[in-house]
Structures are given as C-alpha cells and as structure tokens.
Structure 1
Amino acid sequence: MQPYVVTIASEKGGVGKTTLATNLAIYLKALREDLAVTLFSFDNHFSVDQMFRIGSEKPRGTVFDLLLGRPLPELVATGEFGVQYIPSSLRLPELRPRLRDPSLLASLLGRSGLGGILIIDTRPDLDEFTANALFAADRVIVPVKDTPSLENTRRLYRFFEHHDLPKQALRILPCLVDSRIRYQDGPFENPYQLLKAYALNRGYRCMEGFIAKSPKVESLNTNPEGKVYPVLTHGRGTEVHLQLAHLARQVILDADACEDRRLDSWLRQEQDEIRRRQLEHRQRLERVAFRCLACGKALPTAGLEAFYLENSDGRLAGFVESPCLTDLVFSSVYRNRQGDADSGLRDMFLESALRSYFVLSGPEPDRLVFHRFDEDGRILSSKTLTTGGGFFGRSRPPLTQFWERLRDRLGDDDFLLLRRGVPGQAEDLLANRPYRDFCRTRQLVSMQLSSRAHD
C-alpha cells in the first residue's frame, strides 16, 4: 500500500508549521512503534535535520535528489526516535522549472516503495514545491493562529478546485492559541472557539482540538546548542503534549480508514492518461499515408527527413520530404534556380525551419500567400503568389501547383501548416508533446489569419 501523505501547509509564516510537522512525526511513532513514519521539508531552515540527525552522520542524499528522481530508499535516513527523514537542501530553487507540473512529486512518491505515513513540511508560500506537496496529499493540515492566516487558506482551497482534487482532504488546525484568554461577552469563550467558528462559517473542515501557545514549547527551538528538542521528551508537562498526542491519534485513525490512498489513485490516473496518449498517438500514425505529398514517393515510418503538414482542422495530414519542400519554396518564393550555388541558402532555410512554422493560405481564388510564423504564432514574413495565368511571364510557381493539388481536400478558408521535424526523426512530431505544441500553434495561426482577413 502507498504511504498516507500528510502535508502541513500555510501561506502565513509563524504559525508553528515546522514544529507541528516534526513533533507529529515523533508522536505517531510513539503511538504505533511498528508504523513507518517519514518526514521531509521543502523549507530550508534545516529544523528537520537538527531534530532527527543522529550524531554527525553525513546524508546520502537530500530532497533535491528526490526531486531529480533518485530512488527514495537511497535517500531516507533513520533518525532519532525511529523517525525516517530525508535531509533538507539549499539547492531546491534550482528545480522550480522542473516542478511546474504539480503532479511530479506524486509520480515520484508513487513509485518509491515507501509505506506508512509520510509528512511533508512546506514553505509559507503556495509555490511549485507546496503545490506538489498539496497534489500528493491524503490529508492537508492547515495551521492557523488568527483571522489573517485563516483568510490565506482560501488560496489552498482554490488550488484544490482548480486541479479537481477532493477538498475533504483539507483540515484547519488552530495553532499557537493562547488558552489563557477568555472572552467576557459574546458567543465565544476563547480564541479557539472564535477561530473554529470563523472556519466553519467559511465552509472549512477542522481537525479536532487545537495546539496551544506555550513558552515552554517555544523555548525548545531556542538554545545555545542549536538543537531542536521534541515536546514528547522535553514538554510532557505542557498542554501541548496532550494536544499533539490527540492530533497524532486522529491522523492514525484517518490513515487506517483510508482504503484508497491518494498516490494509488494518482498512479491509476497516470496509467490511464498514458494509455490514452498512446492510443491517440497510434491513431495519428494510422491516419497518415507515408507518402510524400509533393512527389508521391513512399516514405519510411521511421527515420524521416521531412516536414509535417496539416490543414486547419486536421482532416488533411501527411509529410513532405525536406528536399521537395525546399525545391518548392526556392523555385516559387525566392525564384532561385536549383544548383550548388544555392546550397548555403538552402541549408540556412532548413536550419531556420526547425524554429519556425510555414503556412500556405489562399484568401482569394487567384492568390496564394506563403507565411512564416515563429513558435509563438506570430507572423515573421509573408509572400504573395498568383495562382492563375503566369507569374511575371513565367509558368505558375510550383508551390501554387502543390496547393491546387490539395485544394479539393480543403475548405474555403482553409490553410496548411507545416513544421520541420528533427532530421531523421520527423515522425516524432506526432508524439504527444510535439503534436500538442503543433496544435497550439495551429490555433494561434488560425486566429492571426482570421484577424488579418477582417482588417
């Protein structure tokens, strides 16, 4: 079974997030000794390492290595109290681009072989790291100490809505509550009741109980030795000790009752998505006749040196060999003769074609326009060719003849979009990610051409 993932998250700093995460791990282990409890932090203050590191042992790896895909068993260290932890890292900002997809961490953890309960401590910010920790979580505990920190919770709920995640996973936990305060008037006796009422009024679910503010507990993080001490061993006489034990029991009961873990469901989704993409890729390959649309030559299904072509709605699809398209363009647009003298220009054209899209459109019956677009769908250049009669006394340009051969398979306001594939790998343009980029550019091109037609 996959681990039960508990993410501690709040966009407000100073709410006791890391203290909660580290102590929760210890209390879980104390309540159930045979339970595997693992902890790591995306924050860079190294409190996790300071509390759990045994002696001066050097880490075999860090959270940085986890996010790079290194096997988790190579990174987990057994620390104090039997809690497993993954050492922290100062290099995490380097990985922000890698974590733009919030599902990355879930995919890595789902294949880790880890069991038990995993606790993730996050930064006080809904950044890429926190997003990944939220996406992977079975339970998100949101510590709040006042109404401003409670208001910040709205963004966490919006994240769950945006990614179609069950909001039942989110739980508010009032923390650092001064239990000495008593209200004389009004419906609430103390700050805990007030915060809980505010949370429930906003539709938020809450954990049972709260974590009190305690000078004794706060002092456990501040001492000359630089050591972080746990409440279990150094704060047994405090109210917080009982509250953490109660919280840990809730988490264990929730984990025991959770039959379908988040990582299990995500891996099923991921496998379904992979199968769907494979099917779509196969269907794209099957609808393409592997013959050059310009010369009719049979083409191999792999090792292609070609441009991929589609019309505006994808009904017409195929490949044009790179030499064929180069001849068509140079003899029509640049009006150059074939020959060795043109080889340098042809090489430049083919090289630039790896970073461009080319478009043929016939806005009027006697005109063909050859456009060059960049990868963001912006027009870089346009050349108009006539499709009837001659072209300055010469025969019709070959590019217009190519267009007319395909014309009966096109709509009235149609266009052809061409993209050169990597030499010897042009068939890879039909793979999921490149094809998604192709379709995105096709949509942008359609908008650009439509806008120009109405100007």
Structure 2
Amino acid sequence: MIPYISLAQGAGGIMATPYIITISSEKGGVGKTTVATNLAIYLKALQEDLPVTLFSFDNHFSVDKMFRIGKSQPAGNIAEFFAGRPLRELIELGQFGVQFISSHRDLAPLRHSLQSPDILTRLLAANDLPGVIIIDTRPDLDPLTGNALYAADRVIVPVKDMPSLENCRNLYAFFDQHGLSRKALQLLPCLIDSRVRFEGPFKDSSQLLKAYAINRGYRCFNGHISKSPKVDSLNTNPEGKIYPILTHGRGTEVHAQFTQLAQQVLDDFRMERNFRLDTVRLETGRQEVSRAGALALRKAQLRTDCALCGRTVIDSGEIAEVGYYWEVNDGTAAGMLDEGCFSASIFQHFFRSSRELPADDPLRELFRESTQRSYFALCQPPETRGHFRQQLAFYRFDDEGLMLSRKVIDPPASPGQLGRLLELIQDDGRRLGEKFLILRRVDSDFADAILLEENHLRLRQATERITQQLRPR
C-alpha cells in the first residue's frame, strides 16, 4: 500500500511533509534509544522506498555508532540545525538505508536558549523532507524534549514499570498546557521480563501496565517489547559496536515484536491526513498574511509629510530619505521626520544653539550617535500638568524605555518648525496635556523596518514603560 504523501505549498513551491515520531520518557533505562534506532530499521525493511531520518538529543552517540558507514566524517550535527543550517546539508545516508544526523556532545547551551516549544517545529516546517523523522530524546522534559513533543505526529512512550508509567502524566500535562491533542501519545510496554507471571486477570507485566494505563485514559500500542539477554548483548559487546535486532536478533521474540510495532507505525503513517507540520505551515501562512496586512495598515496610516518642515516624505507608499519615526503615545497618529529638521529644532530650542550646525559638526555627530540606542519623548513635564504656565520637556530613554535624561524649557515664543510638531499633541486650545510624542531613529535606507511587527511591538512596549514614568507623582 502506498502511503499518503502530504504536500504543502511553500515559498519555493510544493513541499513534502514528514511524519514525525518522537520517542520520549522522563525515566531512563526504559529502551527509548533501542526503540528509536530499531524502529527506523524495521520501517525501512517493511517499505524500502520510504525515507526514514533519525536524530537524537542525547549525547551517547548510539545513533552515530549504529548507522555511520565506515569512518566517514560527519556532515554536521543536530546543534547546527538549530543554528539555521538546512536539514538536507546535515543528513547522512547510513547503514540499512536509514538517514541520520550526527549527535552533539553538549547541547546544554542550546537547551538554555530554547525559550519556546515550537522552535523545532518551525525549523522542520521550513525544510522540505519527506517520509518519516524519528527523534530520540533525553530522559527528562527539558526544552529540547518539549520541542520534540510539540513537533510530533506520534509520541511513543516506552514504559517499563510503575515509576515510568507515573511519569507519563507530565507528558500529558505538557500536551494539555500547549493545546495539543492527546491522541498523538501512545504507550509501549518495553523491556518486559516475560518470565514474571501473575495470578489473576493480568498474566504479565505488559498486561498489568496496559490495564493501569487504560484506566488513566492513556492509549497503548498492541503488543510490547520484551527484555532479552540476546538483545542486551547487541548494545554491550567486546567489539564496542551496536548491532540491530533485525540482523542479529532474528531468533528472539523481540524481532517479531519490532515487526509488529513497525507495522502499526507504518499503518498510522499511511492513514494520517492531518500532519503536524502542515498545520504549522498553514498557521504560519495565516500569521504571515496577518502580519503583512498589519504592516500595510500601519504604513498607510503614516502622514505623508515631515511634521516639522512639511516636505513630502512618503509618495505612493515609497518613503524618502528620513531620519526619525514619530508616534503619538495613544497611537492616533504617526509619521517620519527629516533628520536635519529634527536635530536643528532640538539644538535650537533645547541646547540654545543660535547657529545652523553643518552636517559634519562634532556636536551633531555626537547627537546622532546617541540616538542609535535611544527613544525620545516630547511632552509637558508631568509635574506641571494642569498649571497655567506651560513648559516643554525633551526626554531621552534607553532601549528598554528607562529614562536617561531630560531638558525642560519654556515654550518658545517663536517655535517655528517645532511648533508644527507640537500641534500633534496639543488640545483645541493649543495647550499641552497628557499626550506625548515618542520618537525613534530609523535607518534611512529601511525606514519602514520600524513598522514590522516585532520592531513596532518593541516600540509599543517601550512606550508603555515610558508612559508609566511620565505620569504625575
């Protein structure tokens, strides 16, 4: 039977979507890596033309030892994938036709940097890799394991005993916390000693564990994986190699059990229609459309002229050379300012400069340098709000929106261009109130970059912090 091949529309055309299997348990010694490596081989044996790719977040290098052909140098390692290197550049063709990515000795720094569980999912969604991907995880619910769980179409949870069954509740809690379907989780009794028999309805450990699991609402695979001295010797031997069950354990019951497990997984893959990465790609596409729409809206709402000199700075959606972005703190108006106009007005009124400073003047250069990492605000000082006498303050804040300095002046009798700018925050009586202007330097070549969602969000967050500091005490 030919499996259903999921295809998604990507930036470069049609993208194949892999079926992702994560092997996970918080308890060590339950057979995660044995299941991951041998399942990959049995899937290839059942369907030779099925691409199967395997990688591990553990640092015991079992995947590398089992699948690397000869002494070939690694194409890369799994840490490089998180650094942005394309998946296809890291994949090596290994023994038995299984593709794999080399492990990494120390992923601790990577674990500390993963702040979101969807990073791996989005990286995989951006790559075009068909077939099945199997992810072997560490025996804890760290950020790497969380990312592997979040990406999975199927999570195989090996359970060996009651403690490992108890730990399953944390995996289910993770799925509930992130709004994921519990149907992806499926328990597999593993390393079961078939010599242990019980009286009563449950004859062995496998049946007992399944009964407890089903009673808790957990789904289980048919069958189990037995503990076998022969299989144990495949991982620990004088040669220091790791041998697969398919070629070195055919005489054991474990061979038949892995055949059954692989067939169940293959059937699930063939029947699956809602691949996890397709869902992510669809949602990402919607978000991109939403972001593009929001960007277009913010750009359309910009004033087309410089609020200081009146020069047209936006024509047919194209932004001319400008130096600053401004926005009223309540978001009711926004626009761009000519750099020369703004700096000239600030020097004239707040630094009492009576002369026009040339473009290469050291004072202008010093000011330009300070603006690279600053927000500015123009408003009435909070302590004088409601007073008959008006004053005007020019604030400088750092990248986080924390106040660095301020200068307060009496409103100039002849404000000139500055007066036009202040009209944006004055009331009908031409008096300043609670409104203020927030200003941020922009790259003249990419002025609209400040309107991108992540950049504009940072500006709004800084504005909120600035608002708190500009409230009357």
| TM > 0.5 fold call | yes
Correspondent of 1:273 among 287, 290, 295: 287
Task: Tell me how far apart the structure 1 counterparts of residues 438 and 206 of structure 2 sit (CA, whole Å).
Answer: 62
Give the drift of 1:228. 0.4
Task: Tell me how far apart the structure 1 counterparts of residues 211 and 364 of structure 2 sit (CA, whole Å).
Answer: 72
CA distance 1:121–1:420, change in 2 (3 Å): same
Correspondent of 2:451 among 430, 436, 442: 430
Task: Tell me how far apart the structure 1 counterparts of residues 346 and 156 of structure 2 sit (CA, whole Å).
Answer: 61
Give the drift of 1:398. 7.3
- Give secondary structure in 2 for the equivalent of 1:407: coil
Counterparts in 2 of 1:253-268, with a 5 A limit? 253-268=267-282
* 11-20 or 254-263, larger mean C-alpha shift: 11-20
> Which amino acid counterpart does residue 305 of structure 1 have in structure 2?
V
Contact 1:332/1:398 (8 A) holds in 2: no
Runs of 5+ consecutive residues of structure 1 not aligned to the other structure: none
> Which amino acid counterpart does residue 352 of structure 2 have in structure 1?
R
- Residue by residue over 1:181-218, the C-alpha shift from the partner in whole angstroms, topping out at 9 and shown as x without a partner, is 34568x86544344434444444333333333333322
Task: Tell me how far apart the structure 2 counterparts of residues 335 and 125 of structure 1 sit (CA, whole Å).
Answer: 64
> Which amino acid counterpart does residue 466 of structure 2 have in structure 1?
V
Do residues 180 (structure 1) and 195 (structure 2) align? yes
Give the drift of 1:120. 1.3
Runs of 5+ consecutive residues of structure 2 not aligned to the other structure: 1-5, 7-16
Query: 1:374 — aligned with what?
Result: 398
Give the drift of 1:151. 4.2
- Give secondary structure in 1 for the equivalent of 2:190: strand
- Residue by residue over 1:80-113, the C-alpha shift from the partner in whole angstroms, topping out at 9 and shown as x without a partner, is 2222222323475565587545444334433543
Correspondent of 2:299 among 276, 285, 307: 285
Do residues 157 (structure 1) and 168 (structure 2) align? no
* 3-12 or 279-288, larger mean C-alpha shift: 3-12
- Give secondary structure in 2 for the equivalent of 1:325: helix
- Give secondary structure in 1 for the equivalent of 2:189: strand
Query: 1:321 — aligned with what?
Result: 338
Query: 1:109 — aligned with what?
Result: 124
Give the drift of 1:281. 1.0
Do residues 402 (structure 1) and 421 (structure 2) align? yes
Do residues 357 (structure 1) and 381 (structure 2) align? no
Task: Tell me how far apart the structure 1 counterparts of residues 340 and 50 of structure 2 sit (CA, whole Å).
Answer: 65
Query: 2:97 — aligned with what?
Result: 82
Contact 1:140/1:170 (8 A) holds in 2: yes
- Residue by residue over 1:232-262, the C-alpha shift from the partner in whole angstroms, topping out at 9 and shown as x without a partner, is 2222333432322222111111101101222
- Residue by residue over 1:16-38, the C-alpha shift from the partner in whole angstroms, topping out at 9 and shown as x without a partner, is 21111001111112222332222
* 171-180 or 228-237, larger mean C-alpha shift: 171-180
Contact 2:425/2:437 (8 A) holds in 1: no
Instruction: Give the aligned CA root-mean-square deviation in angstroms.
Output: 3.1
Give the number of equivalent residue pairs. Answer: 446
Task: Tell me how far apart the structure 2 counterparts of residues 150 and 333 of structure 1 sit (CA, whole Å).
Answer: 70
Task: Tell me how far apart the structure 1 counterparts of residues 307 and 77 of structure 2 sit (CA, whole Å).
Answer: 53
Task: Tell me how far apart the structure 2 counterparts of residues 345 and 127 of structure 1 sit (CA, whole Å).
Answer: 52
Correspondent of 1:231 among 241, 245, 266: 245
Query: 2:21 — aligned with what?
Result: 6
> Which amino acid counterpart does residue 280 of structure 1 have in structure 2?
A
* 354-363 or 56-65, larger mean C-alpha shift: 56-65
Contact 1:188/1:194 (8 A) holds in 2: yes
Contact 2:328/2:424 (8 A) holds in 1: no
Task: Tell me how far apart the structure 2 counterparts of residues 47 and 119 of structure 1 sit (CA, whole Å).
Answer: 14
Query: 2:74 — aligned with what?
Result: 59
- Give secondary structure in 1 for the equivalent of 2:426: helix
* 420-429 or 222-231, larger mean C-alpha shift: 420-429
Normalising by structure 2, what TM-score? 0.83
Normalising by structure 1, what TM-score? 0.86
Task: Tell me how far apart the structure 2 counterparts of residues 277 and 134 of structure 1 sit (CA, whole Å).
Answer: 27
CA distance 1:311–1:41, change in 2 (3 Å): same
Counterparts in 2 of 1:126-165, with a 5 A limit? 126-165=141-180
Contact 1:62/1:75 (8 A) holds in 2: yes
Task: Tell me how far apart the structure 1 counterparts of residues 433 and 264 of structure 2 sit (CA, whole Å).
Answer: 65
Identity of counterpart residues, as a percentage?
Answer: 49
Task: Tell me how far apart the structure 1 counterparts of residues 60 and 245 of structure 2 sit (CA, whole Å).
Answer: 19
CA distance 1:13–1:279, change in 2 (3 Å): same
* 196-205 or 285-294, larger mean C-alpha shift: 196-205
Correspondent of 1:345 among 363, 369, 388: 363
Contact 2:309/2:417 (8 A) holds in 1: no
- Give secondary structure in 2 for the equivalent of 1:266: helix
Task: Tell me how far apart the structure 1 counterparts of residues 173 and 464 of structure 2 sit (CA, whole Å).
Answer: 29
